[in-house]
Structure 1
Amino acid sequence: MILLHDYFRSSAGYRVRIALNLKGLAYERHEIMLLENQQGSAEHLARNPQGLVPALEVDGLVLTQSLAIIDWLDSRYSEPRLIPAEPDARAAAMAKALVIGADIHPLNNLRVMRWLKQELGAEEAARNDWTRHWIAEGFAALEAMAGAGPFLGGDTPNIADVFLVPQMFNARRFDTPLEAFPKLLRADAAARETGAFAAAHPDRVAPK
C-alpha cells in the first residue's frame, strides 16, 4: 500500500502526485491541513521531523522531500523514467527542476510567508510582491534553459515538468505576469493536457 501524506495546494505534494500518476501507481492520500498547523502535530513530526509535506509511506518505509521521493520512485518503478539515466540529460533535467525546487519554491512556501508577516510585519501586498519577484526571477532563468519542447523535458515530460506545473499553478495564484515565458507556458499547457498531470491538480484532490 502507498499512502501519501499531502496537502492539496502543496507544490511539493503536487509533484509527488504527478509522479505517482505518471508511474500508474495506485495510492491513498491523507490530507495534512497546513493552515490548521497539522504538520506540527506529534503524529506528523514522527513521519517527517521537518514538519513539512509530503511524506510517502510504502510498506512501512517513510520517505520525505519530494525530489528524494521521486528519485526513489524512479529506482523502484523504472517506467516511465522521470530522471534521465544518461549523465548529460540527467544533469540538464535536474538543473531545471532545481531552479524551482531549490531556488524559487523555498522562498515562497507557507512558513516563509508566515515569518515575513509575523516577524517582519510585512503586509499581504508586500508578501505577494516578494512571491512574484522570486517566481519571475527563477522563471527568467528557466525560460533561457528551455529547449524546443513541447515539454520542458523535451519530447516527453520528465522531472523538469513535474516541478514546473505546480510552480506555474502557484504563479497564477499570485497573479504573476507570465507573458515573458512563452516556452514555459507551452510546456505547462502540454503537460496539463495529459491525464497524469490533470488528475494531480489541486482542484481535483481538494477536500470536499
Structure 2
Amino acid sequence: CPQRHPLAGSLWADQPQCLADWLRALDDDDRPLRDWLAQLGSRRLGHYYERLWQFALGQAPGIELLAANLAIREAGRTLGELDVVLRDRDGVHHLELAIKLYLGPEHAGRDPGAWLGPGCHDRLGSKLAHLARHQLPMSSAAHSREVLARLGVEQVQAHVWLGGYLFYPWPGHAQPPLGANPQHLRGRWLRRRDWV
C-alpha cells in the first residue's frame, strides 16, 4: 500500500516549528478541538483518529480539505467511503487513515497474517489486503469519479496512513512483519499466566 504522511504537502512539513507553535497554541486553548471532537457520535478509536487528522488537516497551511468521510453509493447502497480527500502542492489525494494495534506471534512474525488484532478476527495481513484491494482503488472507480467530479477533482492519487503499535511477545522474540517501517511504534505483550 502506498503510504503518505497526511501533512507531506503542507508548510508544516517544511517548517516543523510552525506545527509546534500551532500545537502549543492548541495546548493553551483546546476549545476548538474539543468542540470538533464533540460532534463525533462514535467512541471507536478509528473514528476518533480520523477526526483528529481531519481537524489538523483543516488547519494546516497549504492544505485544502475537500471532503471527509465521503460516501460512495450506487442505487442507494453504500459501497464505502473515502476517509479524506485533500488538495496540496503535490495535487489531490485520497487518504485512507487507520490506527491499528497488533500482537505479534511468539515465534515467526514475518507473515502479516500472523499478527492478531482485537478479538482475533482482525489480522494485519487482512487489513493490508482490504486496503490494497478495496479501500485505495475505490477513488478510481466510476462511481467515485462522478462524486469527485462534483468537487472539481479529475485526478486523484490514493494513499494510506496507517498508525498504531506492533506489540512483540515477552518473553520471547518475533520478527517484524514484512513491509513494516523500521521505526514503527513498538510495545510488548505477555500471556496472563506469565503475569507474576
Larger RCO (alpha carbons 8 Å, 6+ apart):
1
The question of a shared fold, defined as TM-score above 0.5 by the shorter chain, is answered with no
Q: Which has the higher helix share?
A: 1
Q: Which has the higher strand share?
A: 2
Structure with the greater alpha carbon radius of gyration: 2
> TM-score, normalised on structure 2?
0.31
> TM-score, normalised on structure 1?
0.30
